[in-house]
Amino acid sequence: MMEITQLTTDLETDNALVRAVDALSLTITQGETFALVGESGCGKSMTALSLLRLLPDSGRVTGGRVDMDGTDLLALPESGMRQWRGRRVSIIFQEPATSLNPVMAVGRQIQEVIERHTPLTGAASAAKAVDWLRRVGLDAPERRALGYPHQLSGGQKQRVMIAIALAAEPQVLVADEPTTALDVTIQAQILELLQDLQRTQNMALLLITHDLAIVSHMAHRVALMYAGQVVEVASAADFFARPLHPYAANLLDALPDASKRGQRLASIPGTVPPLSQRFAGCRFADRCQDAQALCRTQAPDIVEHASGHAVRCFIYQGAMGIAQASRNAAPVAAKAQVALEAPGDTAAPLLVVRDYKVWFPIRKGLLQRTVGHVKAVDGVSFSLDAGRTLALVGESGSGKTTVGKALLQLLRGQAQISGSAVLQGQALDALQGAQLRSARRTAQIVFQDPFASLNPRMRVNEILEEGVASLHPDVGGAARRARVAALLDKVGLSASALTRYPHEFSGGQRQRLAIARALAVEPRLIVADEPTSALDVSVQAQILNLLSDLQAELGVAYLFITHNFGVVEYLAHEIAVMQGGKLVEYGAAEQVLERPQHAYTKALLGAVPRLRRT
């Protein structure tokens, strides 16, 4: 269906030329799901954008071919490419918040694709758009079609993006993190929809994701990327049962789950090297336990080790004389055991929430009178002790994010808030001015969408130092810079990031910056809204280890809003399950996970994808 040969993509930056994709070759067959996995910044998304010729102005494809039905898509004029893009090959973008038109109704954006690529127009295309919204799991699709992107949650926007990509029923779908912002039930629904379309239309799917559990369920074949190159290609069964490249084995070791609770996760030391440099040897050598002198001076080719299983490593080419590599041993940093359970604390809870309600007014008419309310949060109660983690889980739109924002007083003037939220003995809703400012030294938030929450006009050093300068004026300039540099290293970014702007980073790298910004002021409570959703498993392991370390050392408490049950199983002490603005189940993590009582909780846990290793 699609044959990619020696695809090479360069990006021009202020400082250097970056080779984001280096001679990538893949073949995707009809009806196949081909998964492209790897760390943030390794070139996965740039590969996707290159295939559809949607690169930013600074990017260009400098070599290779992309063949579909005998046509090289890279050789087509832009007018010719428009006949293919959307109809024959389509894409689900990684960040729906920046991909949807903010001034166009949701239904109209789907109609635009339908009318451009199919015979349907007018009322017929509008009905088809509503049908697609229904198929991707949006409630009240007729009403949603008339709404705008800002009126939707992150997960709902992602579903709209998926509907747009599928509206013309393409032959090849490039899905760049299509379920990142979705809860597990909707994720299962979307993945089932994609599989149904594959069966009915024989559609090929290039799935770009960092969720290896999804890959193990969905993919027929897997390609692992590192630093712009493919380092391993295999059938999904072989990849998970017998990973060959040291990088592949380390990634699988880094996955969090209940069995690793109380242990440090395996995290690969260092970061992906800058792609602006010329590489003399293996690009993974600086992070590899098996690296030899040859690895640093000569670049390995990708060769077939077994039928259908190719790997880019000297271990399997006989060049290093290693009979059995230590590739399946966890990195040294992962061997130490830690006590993730916080020591008992007889003091009062850090945060106490009682009968908390957040109602958004519905206004109509010329005078915009309130005619009703959307009860986003309707009577939620829980408490959180210092040094503990409360995981808040539930479907997209259930009110999880609204709880977090309202607690930190970010919805004042937008919603009617009642009930009580007491942080360290202070009623948050009653705080004003300097008192509220002081409280924000104690409580910070990591937003779900890092692109929207980072100032695009500020460099990273300014973004990270801003909070420290504002909330800790006693910390001098040199100390601020030292704190920021140390945080960058902890979240897996190099010091060179300090002088760059947010748009120069991938989605996962921006999420790391958002986490570093929250940690910079050393808070007692962090409201973490999907903090690891955009991170690959290796960096996720680094972040979870960092959060666990801070909890053990400083007694930091986390209100962890997530749909990643692997993280919940590994990190949470208590779990609160939300549905329709209410808590339907609340208790100790072990009890909720192993003996769920509510039918909704059982449905959530039943939809969680589990990694298949055989």
Tell me whether residue 260 is in a domain: no
Claim to verify: residue 444 and residue 534 sit in the same structural domain:
yes
Claim to verify: residue 328 and residue 371 sit in the same structural domain:
no
Tell me whether residue 340 is in a domain: no
Claim to verify: residue 368 and residue 515 sit in the same structural domain:
yes
Claim to verify: residue 422 and residue 302 sit in the same structural domain:
no
Claim to verify: residue 160 and residue 213 sit in the same structural domain:
yes
Claim to verify: residue 419 and residue 551 sit in the same structural domain:
yes
pLDDT tens-place string over residues 99-125: 899 999 999 999 999 999 999 999 999
Claim to verify: residue 532 and residue 466 sit in the same structural domain:
yes
Q: What's the number of domains the chain is made of?
A: 3
pLDDT tens-place string over residues 427-464: 998 898 888 888 888 999 998 777 788 899 999 999 99
What is the arithmetic mean of pLDDT over 93-103? 84
R_g (Cα) of the chain, nearest Å: 24
Claim to verify: residue 25 and residue 76 sit in the same structural domain:
yes
Confidence grade of residue 321 (pLDDT, cut at 50, 70, 90): very low
Tell me whether residue 234 is in a domain: no
pLDDT at 490: 79
Claim to verify: residue 444 and residue 591 sit in the same structural domain:
yes
User: Among the residues of 443-497, which ranges form H helices?
Assistant: 450-453, 460-471, 477-490
What share of the chain has pLDDT > 70, as a percent? 94
What is the arithmetic mean of pLDDT over 317-335? 45
pLDDT at 320: 53
Asked if the model's pLDDT at residue 336 lies above 70, the reply is no
What is the arithmetic mean of pLDDT over 348-369? 89
| CA separation for the pair 74, 63 (Å, rounded) | 9
What is the arithmetic mean of pLDDT over 469-481? 85
Domain of residue 90 covers 2-219
Asked if the model's pLDDT at residue 252 lies above 70, the reply is yes
pLDDT tens-place string over residues 291-310: 888 999 999 999 888 888 99
pLDDT tens-place string over residues 555-581: 899 999 988 888 899 999 999 999 999
Residue 473: both structure tokens together = 């004026």
CA 203 from centre of chain: 25
The reported pTM is 0.75
Asked if the model's pLDDT at residue 338 lies above 50, the reply is no
Tell me whether residue 132 is in a domain: yes
Beta carbons within 10 angstroms of residue 328's beta carbon: 14
Asked if the model's pLDDT at residue 170 lies above 50, the reply is yes
Coil/strand/helix, residue 119 = coil
Claim to verify: residue 247 and residue 176 sit in the same structural domain:
no
Claim to verify: residue 371 and residue 312 sit in the same structural domain:
no
Beta carbons within 10 angstroms of residue 362's beta carbon: 11
pLDDT tens-place string over residues 140-152: 999 999 999 988 8
Average predicted confidence (pLDDT) for the chain: 86
Confidence grade of residue 582 (pLDDT, cut at 50, 70, 90): very high
Tell me whether residue 179 is in a domain: yes
CA 323 from centre of chain: 38
Q: Which of 66-80, 176-190, 290-304, 393-407 is predicted least confidently?
A: 176-190
For 9, 22, 88, 207, 611, the CA distances from 6, given in Å and listed in that order, are 10, 7, 22, 19, 31
Asked if the model's pLDDT at residue 245 lies above 90, the reply is yes
Nearest to 530 by CA among 441, 461, 453, 464: 453
pLDDT at 492: 76
User: First-to-last CA distance in the chain?
Assistant: 28
Claim to verify: residue 182 and residue 129 sit in the same structural domain:
yes
CATH number where 69 lies: 3.40.50.300
Q: Which of 230-239, 253-262, 322-331, 459-468 is predicted least confidently?
A: 322-331
Tell me whether residue 386 is in a domain: yes
- Count how many residues are written for the chain: 614
Tell me whether residue 104 is in a domain: yes
The strand ranges marked E within 365-496 are 369-384, 389-394, 416-423, 426-427, 443-446
Asked if the model's pLDDT at residue 327 lies above 60, the reply is no
Tell me whether residue 229 is in a domain: no
